[in-house]
Structure 1
């Protein structure tokens, strides 16, 4: 089961007595757990009906005792086991009988980074349909996430506005959710979030300046790229984060360049890479500024600068200045 399927079931009123949420996307795990607990127990009686354990500190008997305790003045109690991937094998074994027959008056929730589905504990959980995988979203899934976040705030968002937001933030779901919330407040009674709204809200952020740095570098606009670089350093931005923004942007240009070399029409490139038409023309033009071999050399430079910035191999500004100048002044692709 995915996090989205789990949240959909919750919204329909399904409260599972047993669930295990795992994966690398901690934002989805934490949000799903929060939504589950909000529906499972009365907040005013939480002190009486809620226990939290940590897998690296607890024994199975403690979890079982809490899960088998009847709720006080309420329909249900909840037990949350964090870092459940640290539970020892004997603890998982002791929990198996409960997993096979969980108490109807308890909502027992496990969270962890990973699971081993070869173990009997997880095989039994899977039979119950309570394993929820929270994967990190790929770039082509971000538009749907942003749209759903806007709907949750009572708004819709233009596809181009969502595209710009994902270009600015990447797949940091916590930050994307926060930015959509800010946009909803900024828009007030206006029902739809536009590109201009995103530009206005984001214009003062480091993410927007880093996006502009990458954009100007892709255009080989040295003057504006250095201006953006200076602004980022004045705002206290770290070199590895700037390199990350450049790497993400030029990875997209490289993919476009490959499709251009295969003579794919521009509209097909947009569909293949899920790039909104609002940005497609400019991105294709930037990709034409670089050959694939040149982009390959740039990624070697990104890696070198990233290592140097994290190991003290040069002054950060000097390092970044040299990188940006190198991108913008190399001979353009034919």
Structure 2
């Protein structure tokens, strides 16, 4: 079951006694916990019937006793255990999870890890509780997720602006939500987010960014690539080499994959590569300009310069100089 389904059930007052929320993506876990903590009970009910524990400080016996308590002046009570991954003897909760109280909604937030499915405790959680196991979204899923979040705010966004936003923020869904909310506030009466808005309110240059560098490399436009690198050098926080090199490696890895795709249909190619159709032409252009042998050489160069960027086989060359060397060699 997804976070959206669980929250939808909460809104319908369709509750399970135990919710175990685990995994790599904290955003979905936090979303459910926030709803359970602030929305299930009214303000008056919460005063008597909401208990919140933190795993690092909580004692399993105290949590167990709270769960077994009956609600006061309400149909149900809510017990939230945050940061449960830090709780000692958490397996001691198994007896309660195996036979929970119907009037208690027990929500456990177990972030950044998962239970060992082979253990008796994990099997009990799965059999008796509502288990949500979260995963980080793939990079190819981020534009769709961000687009849906923008639609929820009643807004639209230009395709390039969307990809610029996603590339800048990366796989940090909480930050993505905050930035979208900032855009919604600053947009005023307008309903479409543009590249200019991303530049003004998020602080990403629409001319000097990793996407534009990829485009310049794909077209073998050396002057433009050098200008972008000069901007990166003058604004090191905008695109550190540790962010640029993996992005370029990802780009040229997909260019290399494109050699094995026979179809010319952009949507099909995009699906097979796991990218937005918006950028398919760029991948195809890079494939034409560099040929398969050239792309292989570029991938090796990127590996070499990634090592040099972290100080291996390099005596301390500045990041901007490393990038300039790399760009020239890639286009040679």
TM-score range, shorter chain: 0.7 to 0.9
8 Å Cα contact 1:217/1:328 also seen in 2: no
> Is the Cα contact below 8 Å between 1:218 and 1:250 reproduced in 2?
no
1:22 and 1:134 in contact (8 A); partners too = yes
User: Does the residue aligned with 2:209 lie in a helix, a strand or coil?
Assistant: helix
Q: CA shift at 1:63, angstroms? A: 0.9
- Structure 2 unaligned segments of length 5 or more: list them: none
- Tell me what 2:322 maps to: 322
TM-aligned CA deviation for residue 133 of structure 1: 1.2
SS in 2 for 1:265: coil
The residue that corresponds to 1:265 in the other structure is 264
- 1:114 maps to 114
Task: Provide Cα deviations, 1:280-332, integer angstroms capped at 9, x if missing partner.
Answer: 3233223433344444444444444444444585546x234223432344456
Report what 2:10 is aligned to.
10
- Unaligned 5+ segments in structure 1 are none
Number of the residue aligned with 1:98: 96
What TM-score do you get using the length of structure 2 for normalisation?
0.80
SS in 1 for 2:290: coil
Q: Normalization by structure 1: what TM-score?
A: 0.80
Q: Which residue does 2:278 correspond to in 1? A: 278
> How much is the aligned-residue C-alpha RMSD, in angstroms?
3.4
Count matched residues.
Answer: 328
- Counterpart of 1:288 in 2: which secondary structure? helix
User: Which deviations, in whole Å up to 9, do the C-alpha atoms of 1:173-226 show, x marking residues without a partner?
Assistant: 223223322332233333444566546645645996344344434444333333
User: Structure 1's 178 and 246: CA in aligned 2 closer, same or farther, altered over 3 A?
Assistant: farther
Question: What's the offset of the Cα at 1:22?
Answer: 0.9
- CA distance in 1 between partners of 2:47 and 2:233 (Å): 47
1:62 corresponds in structure 2 to 62
Matches within 5 A, 1:202-281: 202=202, 204=204, 209-237=209-237, 241-267=240-266, 268-281=268-281
SS at match of 1:289: helix
Aligned to 2:28: 28
Shift in Å, 1:131: 0.7
Report if aligned partners of 1:70, 1:77 keep a CA contact under 8 Å in 2: yes
3-state SS of the aligned residue for 2:31?
Answer: helix
Deviation at 1:136, TM superposition (A): 0.4
The separation in 2 between residues aligned to 1:311 and 1:81, in whole angstroms, is 43
Using the TM superposition, give the Cα deviation of residue 150 of structure 1 relative to its aligned residue in structure 2, in angstroms.
1.6
Q: Is the 8 A contact 1:50 1:79 kept in 2?
A: yes
SS of the residue corresponding to residue 58 of structure 1 reads coil
1:251-282 per-residue CA deviation (whole Å, 9 max, x = no partner) reads 23332333235433152312323544433323
